[in-house]
Structure 1
Amino acid sequence: MRDMDDLRIRAATPDDLDRVLTFWRQAAEGTSISDDRDGVARLLRRDPESLLLAERNGMLAGTVIAGFDGWRCHLYRLAVHPAQRRRGVATALLTAAEERFTALGGRRGDAMVLKENAPAHSAWQAAGYSPQPQWSRWVKPLDS
């Protein structure tokens, strides 16, 4: 957990699930196949420290998933409430995520960023990330 002035960064708990899902509907671009209660609960069971929340004055200001599988450091769902943007929330979340990765032995973070989300591109670039044009993401939905 980190405290920066009035911004507090902490790991989510199962009690936060509904709050996070509601927040993502307001603040996140696009949806994921795992954006449901069961998907986020599985994430927290598998990696309890992976979903980082930024809170300001008791309100949810931002989120990021900082998952580490022992090989790669993956960043997903960087989302900041529209009223909290350009106030250091994304920077604080990414700093906390990168500190987590470093402590776990991670060597490089990679981020999933929607191609059409130009404001996100600016935020990621400002944080020191850049696209790798030689790679593309291949996916296959799995039947559950």
Structure 2
Amino acid sequence: MSDLHIRAAGPSDVTAVLAFWRTAAEGTSISDDRAGVDRLVARDPEALLLAERDGVLVGTVIAGFDGWRCHLYRLAVSPEARRQGIGSALLAAAEERFAALGGRRGDAMVLDRNERAHHAWRAAGYAPEPQWSRWVKPLTDG
């Protein structure tokens, strides 16, 4: 994996990230638009991590920290690059970021129906917490 480079996304990466998520991510979110990702990159420039191989985007993860809890979103690897350690490398980079910020507990947003993702998260040491249920409310109509 020496040819894999992980770096924080910048404003110029947003268009490529949105296109990547359409092919590599399971499902979409109301936040998967230019304005949403622009806000993320502007607010926390180190949160959106990109994995590149030979200059080509092959993976992403959002490693957000609110000062109390570490949140992981949008772990996605291009279909042709899966099972090559890219997701694990992205999670390791996210966890290094969290440790440097003083984070002590991470949680991940993982779709119930995405069985392939469940395996990857378990392999990385994460586990579902059945005593918690996720409750959401869209804050916009979009």
Provide Cα deviations, 1:85-143, integer angstroms capped at 9, x if missing partner.
Answer: 01110010000000000000000110000000000000000000000000011111113
In structure 1, distance between residues paired with 2:77 and 2:53: 11
Q: Match of 2:36?
A: 39
- TM-align CA RMSD: 0.9
> Which amino acid is the alignment partner of residue 109 of structure 1?
G
TM-score (norm 2): 0.97
For residues 121-140 of structure 1, the aligned pairs below 5 Å read 121-140=118-137
> How far off is 1:41 after superposition?
0.4
> How far off is 1:71 after superposition?
0.7
In structure 1, the gaps of 5 or more residues are none
TM-score (norm 1): 0.96
In structure 2, distance between residues paired with 1:5 and 1:79: 20
Which residue of the other structure, out of 89, 97, 101, is the alignment partner of 1:100?
Answer: 97
Deviates further, 6-15 or 134-143: 134-143
> How far off is 1:50 after superposition?
0.1
Q: Match of 2:138?
A: 141
In structure 1, distance between residues paired with 2:120 and 2:69: 21
Q: Match of 2:52?
A: 55
Q: How many residues align?
A: 141
**Corresponding residue SS for 1:124:** helix
Which residue of the other structure, out of 110, 115, 139, is the alignment partner of 1:113?
Answer: 110
Identity of aligned residues (%): 74
In structure 2, the gaps of 5 or more residues are none
Structure 1 stretches of 4+ with a deviation exceeding 2 A read: none
Does 2:9 correspond to 1:12? yes
